[in-house]
Structure 1
């Protein structure tokens, strides 16, 4: 599935086999908020082709902001989350009386 990553979009990590050297790596199954999007990344003399993402949740390292390939993430379906949140808000807790 192809998607157009944009800053502010929330994505889910779908891979955890990171080969790049950095202290922080996204964890599979966790949700991240895109902070920045860059096309092609240069590390030393090597250019990596693709779209790379930086995240609000990733700490900036001394070498700069860690970037991760967009194919390692899928967009979060916010509509499904909204339905879940609405459901949580309408279900009374065990301490509430229904019809009170």
Structure 2
């Protein structure tokens, strides 16, 4: 649910980095206002940090440390990152294939 909300908020955003930082601050504030337990806030913060990483960094992290999020959360993060960075569909498919392999899945989930 958290990752779906983040994707919804970020979709179609072509704003400059300053506006993106403002949206992150607003999202952090909204999460804090929900009075989530500390663990929930920490997980949300980790997910927001994930959105600032390059797909290659995420794949390397999954290979080294194991999955920190569900497959759906990773897929939503890749969707946001791809939109932010203007990645082509072919590049996204290649990144998703590598992610799937790192997660230990046989096929690619799109």
Taking structure 1 as the reference length, the TM-score comes to: 0.21
Which protein shows a greater Rg? 1
More RCO (CA 8 Å, sep 6+): 2
Higher fraction of strand: 1
Taking structure 2 as the reference length, the TM-score comes to: 0.19
Higher fraction of helix: 2
